[in-house]
């Protein structure tokens, strides 16, 4: 049975309700525009964490296919956090996170924008480093140049492990997700029903040992 596509006005109202529901977001700070299923978020928020929270909330709404996050992060108060203070906080946070090989990661901060670099063995180590700093005060955004260099693994074994993980999570219903692996790079193709399913499939692939990168080409059914 073909799915019924929501109108732009329905999507607009649902995104506003989802923003209001999410306690991490001040919905009055975020503007929402919808054009042919593409959502644009605007407004000013006090932290990068809030900007990401608004983005995640909008993506949870069924019918949202693509999103442009034009929200601007503006630090509150008359005494903004300096780049030096942010860099010091980043280092302390990376050191305190037990899942982050902090000695292999460096950071650069410019106007509140953090750039991470280095090399890790597993994708979840890269993700843990990114997640560790998202809630720090003064951070306006993040660029992650961390490279994942996993131990060599058989492409066939990596593919089998990913497929089993997807099946356990019911993300491979009706065999609609195809998994191809080449030299540590995983390509996902096929159709899923929501952005959450698309992200869950990518998450399962990234967390599989031997995976260096994921090319998520899954399409969301309109």
Q: Which residues of the chain have pLDDT under 50?
A: 1-2, 174
In a domain, 58, yes or no: yes
In a domain, 1, yes or no: no
The alpha carbons of the chain give a radius of gyration, in whole angstroms, of 19
**CATH number reported for the structural domain that contains residue 119 in this entry:** 3.30.1340.30
C-alpha distance from residue 205 to each of 99, 119, 121, 151, 180 (Å)? 18, 19, 15, 16, 11
Task: Tell whether 141 and 194 lie within a shared domain.
Answer: no
pLDDT of residue 47: 87
CA atoms within 13 A on the CB side of 103: 0
Closest CA to 61 of 23, 6, 24: 6
Q: How far apart are CA 91 and CA 15, in angstroms?
A: 36
pLDDT of residue 172: 52
Write out pLDDT tens, residues 68-112: 999 998 877 656 789 999 999 999 999 999 999 999 999 999 999
End position of a domain, from candidates 73, 104, 121: 73
Task: Tell whether 160 and 209 lie within a shared domain.
Answer: yes
pLDDT of residue 22: 92
């Amino acid at each position: 049975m073909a799915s019924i596509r929501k109108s732009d006005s329905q999507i607009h109202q649902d995104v506003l309700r989802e923003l209001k529901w999410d306690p991490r977001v001040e919905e009055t700070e975020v503007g929402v525009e919808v054009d042919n299923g593409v959502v644009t978020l605007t407004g000013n928020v006090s932290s990068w964490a809030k900007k990401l929270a608004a983005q995640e909330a909008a993506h949870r709404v069924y019918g949202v296919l693509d999103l442009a996050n034009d929200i601007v992060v503006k630090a509150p108060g008359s005494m903004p956090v300096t780049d030096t203070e942010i860099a010091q906080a980043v280092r302390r946070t990376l050191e305190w996170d037990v899942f982050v090989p902090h000695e292999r990661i460096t950071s650069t901060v410019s106007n509140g924008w953090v750039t991470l670099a280095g090399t890790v063995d597993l994708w979840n180590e890269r993700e843990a480093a990114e997640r560790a700093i998202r809630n720090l005060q003064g951070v306006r955004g993040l660029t992650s140049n961390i490279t994942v260099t996993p131990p060599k693994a058989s492409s066939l074994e990596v593919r089998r492990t990913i497929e089993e993980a997807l099946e356990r999570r019911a993300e491979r219903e009706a065999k609609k997700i195809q998994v191809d692996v080449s030299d540590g790079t995983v390509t996902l193709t096929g159709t899923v029903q929501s952005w959450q399913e698309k992200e869950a499939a990518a998450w399962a692939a990234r967390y599989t040992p031997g995976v260096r990168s994921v090319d998520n080409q899954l399409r969301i059914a309109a």
